[in-house]
Structure 1
């Protein structure tokens, strides 16, 4: 009984010993796996930290690049605005210079037209004087007593055939002997008196001179005198144009448009038409009537494509961003 108990105790002790020797092995394996797992986790955490740091650095670089790009775009925008403003200023300055040159050219053309008109007037006056002198010579050559064999017609023929001068009054009476220097033509009737209005070239020259001297109120009245006295003359078309210029300079744009319309509608062959149409378009633009002004510019370019005014119209359309 005692031996059995001792055996049981020995078995128990042996079992406990075996258990003590066997049990630490699984615990050691678990600890080793945990250490490896923790090591791997730490490595992963380090890698994530490094990746995060790298991403932060890259994001910082990207932000800097984006900011630099934004700054560059802003600078480019400012430069573009400044360039556009400069271009508009240059176009306006160029347009002003072209307007001045156009005005000077028109003034030269007017002077040439005036000179041509005056030369033609003088030629006609000289021809009339020559006709009168021929008539007087023919009458003076007739014999006083009728002794020479001449026909009966020569004594009266000069009066029936020689027309009176249209623009020049008959020669003044001679102061020698108190008798007239010439006979009265047309069968004894006095020559018609000259028109109360001065010649159109004289009126226009005076008005143009006052306009060039910037005496606009006086020039306006004188241009109106030209128009009222000679409504069908080409110089009346020029007068309407300069009335439009005076109204435009004074800021009376609706009146200027009407003045230019007189040139465009009543004087189709007038050399002032390109300038009148250009300035009409400009006056319409100033009044915010852009569509009407653009139509005038396009019409001017189509009708007079090689004129200086067409060049100015193209510049204005380009400045407005209008495609032709």
Structure 2
């Protein structure tokens, strides 16, 4: 075979395989790059999510911390407000207690003033009664003196004046004495005072006003047993005298003071029943009602105080009765 020179086409053909040899390795490199790119993307995404998650967690922790701090501050404020409210309530309670005590003190003071005024009125009434009794005694004595003077003037001048000029008129002189004894027997001569004293308890018993004055003085001096006995003498010897009603009242007061409420109620009833016009009737109603309350007879005590208020609405004792009922939570007027 003849050796021939390679042609241009023959020379170009070998070059193509060389090009193919270099193109073949490029395919794995691209794949490797793709693998690297695709394999690094998830790692980068995971780290980014972790950072975001950590950031969110940190933000949540910060928010919780701020919320906790805010709650602590609010709790502190609430504690302060609660403490202030408690202090205010305690102060209000103290003020209410002080006002209640002050009101109670004022009520007690008013009650004491009413009692004092009532006692003063009673003392004035007693003084008036004593003055009336003394005036009555003086009037009676004046009437006795006047009757004695009239009897003496009627008996003595007529016989002397008619006997001198006309001795023959002895008959009228002898008839004059029979007309004189009639008023003498009724009115009494100085020697005839004993029959008139028979109308009184007796010569050994002092007058009613003196007995009462002595008993009242002993009562004011706190000599209660002696005063009670002396008041009993007034009632015993002068039952029809108005001072006997006062005597019953003070006997009841002595028993009331010593806690003998049944005996006191009995004496108060004597005033109310036997001496309805006595000035001690309102006080007897009041103290009888209080005695019944002390004996736990509340219904009877309520009736007694209501009777006092209805009978003497403007009396000082009625004010005390209203205060007593109101303090016990009892209506002043009965509910129908």
Q: TM-score range by the shorter chain?
A: 0.7 to 0.9
TM-score, structure 1 normalization: 0.79
Residue 285 of structure 2 corresponds to residue 277 of structure 1: yes
Q: CA deviation at 1:224?
A: 0.8
- Residues 213-292 of structure 1 correspond to what in structure 2 (within 5 A)? 213-292=221-300
CA distance in 2 between counterparts of 1:118 and 1:276 reads 25
- Residues 1-324 of structure 1 correspond to what in structure 2 (within 5 A)? 11-140=27-156, 141-142=158-159, 143=162, 147=169, 154-160=176-182, 164-165=186-187, 170-172=189-191, 193=198, 194-196=200-202, 197-324=205-332
**8 Å CA contact retained: 2:235, 2:244:** yes
TM-score, structure 2 normalization: 0.76
Indicate the SS of the match to 1:305. coil
Q: CA RMSD in A?
A: 3.4
47-56 or 9-18: bigger deviation: 9-18
Indicate the SS of the match to 1:134. helix
30-39 or 212-221: bigger deviation: 30-39
Indicate the SS of the match to 1:164. helix
Structure 1 residues 14 and 307: alpha-carbon distance in aligned structure 2, compared to 1, 3 A threshold: same
292-301 or 145-154: bigger deviation: 145-154
**8 Å CA contact retained: 1:91, 1:319:** no
CA distance in 1 between counterparts of 2:20 and 2:175 reads 198
Structure 1 residues 29 and 323: alpha-carbon distance in aligned structure 2, compared to 1, 3 A threshold: farther
Structure 1 residues 295 and 6: alpha-carbon distance in aligned structure 2, compared to 1, 3 A threshold: farther
Aligned residue pairs: how many? 305
**8 Å CA contact retained: 1:128, 1:164:** no
Indicate the SS of the match to 1:231. coil
Indicate the SS of the match to 1:222. helix
Structure 1 residues 8 and 224: alpha-carbon distance in aligned structure 2, compared to 1, 3 A threshold: farther
**8 Å CA contact retained: 2:201, 2:237:** no
Structure 1 or 2: larger helix share? 2
Question: Which structure ranks higher in relative contact order (CA pairs < 8 Å, sequence separation ≥ 6)?
Answer: 1
CA distance in 2 between counterparts of 1:97 and 1:115 reads 26
Q: CA deviation at 1:93?
A: 4.1
Indicate the SS of the match to 1:271. coil
Q: CA deviation at 1:212?
A: 1.8
Query: Which runs of 5 or more residues in structure 1 are unaligned?
Result: 173-183
CA distance in 1 between counterparts of 2:50 and 2:273 reads 105
CA distance in 2 between counterparts of 1:158 and 1:117 reads 32
71-80 or 238-247: bigger deviation: 71-80
CA distance in 2 between counterparts of 1:163 and 1:308 reads 51
**8 Å CA contact retained: 1:281, 1:293:** yes
Indicate the SS of the match to 1:312. helix
Query: Which runs of 5 or more residues in structure 2 are unaligned?
Result: 1-18
Q: CA deviation at 1:10?
A: 5.2
